Amino acid sequence: MQLEKNYNPSAIEDKLYQKWLDHKYFHAEVDRSKKPFTIVIPPPNITGQLHMGHALDNTLQDILIRSKRMQGYNALWQPGTDHASIATEVKILEKLKEEGISKKDLGREAFLERAWDWKKEYGGRIISQLKKLGSSCDWDRERFTMDEGCNKAVEEVFVRLHEKGLIYKGARIINWCPVCKTSISDAEVEYEDQAGHFWHINYPVVGSDEMVEIATTRPETMLGDTAVAVHPEDERYQHLIGKKVLLPIVNKEIPVVADEYVDKEFGTGAVKITPAHDPNDFEVGKRHNLEQINIMNDDATINENGGKYAGMDRYEARKAIVEELDRLGLLVRIEDYNHNVGTHDRCKTTVEPLIKQQWFVKMEELAKPAVTALKKGDLKFVPERFDKTYLHWLENIRDWCISRQLWWGHRIPAYYCQDCGEIMVARKADAPKTCCKCGSHHIVQDEDTLDTWFSSALWPFSTLGWPDKTEDLDYFYPTNVLVTGYDIIFFWVIRMVFSGLEHMGEVPFDTVLIHGLVRDSQGRKMSKSLGNGIDPLEVIDKYGADALRFTLVTGNAPGNDMRFYWERVEASRNFANKVWNASRFMLMNFEQAEEAGISIDNVTLDDLTQADKWILSKANTLAKDVTANMDKYELGIAVQKLYDFIWEEFCDWYIEIVKPRLYNNEDTTKAAALWTLKTVLIQALKLLHPYMPFITEEIFCNVQEEEESIMISSWPEYREEWNFEADENAVETIKEAVRGIRNVRTGMNVPPSKKAKVIVVSESEAVRRIFEDGKVFFATLAHASDVLIQADKTGIEKDAVSAVIHQAVIYMPFAELVDIGEEKARLAKEEEKLHKEIARASGMLNNPNFVSKAPEAKIQAERDKLEKYTQMLKQVEERLEALNG
What CATH code is carried by the domain that includes residue 804? 3.30.2320
Q: What share of the chain is helix, strand, coil (3-state, %, to 5)?
A: 50, 20, 30
Claim to verify: residue 220 and residue 285 sit in the same structural domain: yes
Phi, psi of 588 (to 5 degrees): -65, -40
Domain, as residue range, for 292: 182-353
Percentage of the chain lying above the pLDDT 90 cut: 81
SS3 call for 606: helix
C-alpha to C-alpha distances, 859 to 247, 592, 627, 667, 839, nearest whole angstrom: 65, 63, 53, 63, 15
pLDDT at 749: 84
Strands 331-344 and 189-204: antiparallel
Predicted confidence (pLDDT) at residue 632 exceeds the cutoff of 70 = yes
Ligand-binding site membership of 528 (annotated): yes
Cα separation, 728 vs 736, whole angstroms:
12
Query: Do 306 and 318 meet the contact criterion of CB atoms below 8 Å apart?
Result: no
Instruction: Provide the mean pLDDT of the chain.
Output: 93
pLDDT at 432: 96
Claim to verify: residue 191 and residue 296 sit in the same structural domain: yes
> Tens digit of pLDDT for each residue in 762-796?
999 999 999 999 998 999 999 999 999 999 989 88
Domain ends where: 690, 723, 756? Answer: 723
- Tell me whether residue 239 is in a domain: yes
Alpha helices of 596-652 — where are they, by DSSP H?
A: 610-631, 635-644
Cα separation, 683 vs 718, whole angstroms:
11
Please list, in sequence order, all residues whose beta carbon lies within 8 angstroms of the beta carbon of residue 812, skipping any fewer than 6 positions away.
Answer: 741, 744, 756, 757, 758, 759, 800, 801, 802
Strand ranges inside 725-857, DSSP E: 756-761, 784-790, 801-805, 808-812
- Tell me whether residue 655 is in a domain: yes
Claim to verify: residue 187 and residue 312 sit in the same structural domain: yes
Alpha helices of 296-403 — where are they, by DSSP H?
A: 314-328, 364-376, 386-395
Helix (H) or strand (E) holding 839: helix 820-845
- Tell me whether residue 485 is in a domain: no
- Tell me whether residue 273 is in a domain: yes
CATH number of the domain that residue 590 is part of: 1.10.730.10
- Tell me whether residue 288 is in a domain: yes
Predicted confidence (pLDDT) at residue 817 exceeds the cutoff of 90 = no
- Tell me whether residue 864 is in a domain: yes
Query: Do 548 and 569 meet the contact criterion of CB atoms below 8 Å apart?
Result: yes
pLDDT at 1: 61
Claim to verify: residue 752 and residue 764 sit in the same structural domain: yes
* Letter string b/e over residues 451-472, b meaning 16 or more CB atoms within 10 A of that residue's CB: bbbbbbbbbbbbbbbbbeebeb
> Tens digit of pLDDT for each residue in 124-177?
899 999 999 999 999 999 999 999 999 999 999 999 999 999 999 999 999 999
Q: Is the peptide bond before 478 cis (omega within 30 degrees of 0)?
A: yes
pTM value is 0.87
Claim to verify: residue 737 and residue 877 sit in the same structural domain: no
Query: Do 227 and 288 meet the contact criterion of CB atoms below 8 Å apart?
Result: yes
Claim to verify: residue 589 and residue 698 sit in the same structural domain: yes
Claim to verify: residue 605 and residue 715 sit in the same structural domain: yes
Cα separation, 857 vs 161, whole angstroms:
68
Identify the CA nearest to 129 among candidates 722, 545, 660: 545
Q: Is the dihedral of CA 570, 576, 580, 583 positive or negative?
A: positive
Claim to verify: residue 189 and residue 278 sit in the same structural domain: yes
- Tell me whether residue 157 is in a domain: no
DSSP assignments along 377-398, one per residue: TSSEEESTTHHHHHHHHHHT--
Q: Which residues is 354 bridged to in the sheet?
A: 174
What would the mean pLDDT of 554-575 be, rounded to a whole number? 94
Rg of the chain, C-alpha, whole Å: 37
> Tens digit of pLDDT for each residue in 448-494?
999 999 999 999 999 999 999 999 999 999 999 999 998 877 789 99
Please list, in sequence order, all residues whose beta carbon lies within 8 angstroms of the beta carbon of residue 184, skipping any fewer than 6 positions away.
Answer: 86, 175, 176, 177, 344, 351, 404
Q: How confident is the model at residue 816 (pLDDT cuts 50, 70, 90)?
A: confident
Identify the CA nearest to 564 among candidates 552, 553, 556: 552
SS3 call for 846: coil
Q: How confident is the model at residue 21 (pLDDT cuts 50, 70, 90)?
A: very high
Burial of residue 752, with CB atoms counted within 10 A of its CB: 0-12 exposed, 13-18 middle, 19 or more buried = exposed
C-alpha to C-alpha distances, 284 to 42, 57, 261, 290, nearest whole angstrom: 37, 41, 8, 8
Predicted confidence (pLDDT) at residue 112 exceeds the cutoff of 90 = yes
Claim to verify: residue 738 and residue 827 sit in the same structural domain: no
Strands 443-445 and 414-417: antiparallel
Domain ends where: 723, 741, 771? Answer: 723
What would the mean pLDDT of 637-647 be, rounded to a whole number? 97
Residue 311 gets the label, from left (phi > 0), alpha (psi -120 to 50) or beta, of left
HSE-up of residue 635 (Cα within 13 Å, Cβ side): 33
Predicted confidence (pLDDT) at residue 90 exceeds the cutoff of 90 = no
Identify the CA nearest to 409 among candidates 104, 868, 89, 685: 89
Identify the CA nearest to 453 among candidates 509, 498, 388: 498
Claim to verify: residue 606 and residue 668 sit in the same structural domain: yes
Phi, psi of 602 (to 5 degrees): -105, 15
Claim to verify: residue 627 and residue 592 sit in the same structural domain: yes
Identify the CA nearest to 513 among candidates 611, 349, 383, 689: 383
CATH number of the domain that residue 842 is part of: 1.10.287.380
pLDDT at 830: 86
pLDDT at 771: 95
pLDDT at 576: 98
pLDDT at 132: 97
pLDDT at 842: 93
Domain ends where: 353, 374, 405? Answer: 353
Q: Which contacts qualify for 192-196: CB closer than 8 Å, 24 or more apart?
A: 192/340, 192/341, 192/343, 193/338, 193/339, 193/340, 193/341, 194/338, 194/339, 194/340, 194/341, 195/336, 195/338, 196/336, 196/337, 196/338, 196/339, 196/341
> Tens digit of pLDDT for each residue in 386-426?
999 999 999 988 899 999 999 999 999 999 999 999 999 99
Q: Is the peptide bond before 383 cis (omega within 30 degrees of 0)?
A: yes
Claim to verify: residue 297 and residue 219 sit in the same structural domain: yes
> Tens digit of pLDDT for each residue in 498-514?
999 999 999 999 999 99
Q: How confident is the model at residue 254 (pLDDT cuts 50, 70, 90)?
A: very high
pLDDT at 532: 87
Q: Which contacts qualify for 829-834: CB closer than 8 Å, 24 or more apart?
A: 830/872, 830/876, 831/873, 831/876, 831/877, 831/880, 834/869, 834/872, 834/873, 834/876
- Tell me whether residue 224 is in a domain: yes
Q: Which residues is 177 bridged to in the sheet?
A: 182
Predicted confidence (pLDDT) at residue 802 exceeds the cutoff of 90 = no
> Tens digit of pLDDT for each residue in 851-863?
898 999 899 999 9
Give the count of domains, the chain. Answer: 4
pLDDT at 885: 62
Predicted confidence (pLDDT) at residue 190 exceeds the cutoff of 90 = no
> Tens digit of pLDDT for each residue in 298-332?
999 999 999 999 999 999 999 999 999 999 999 99
Cα separation, 90 vs 453, whole angstroms:
18
Cα separation, 853 vs 524, whole angstroms:
36
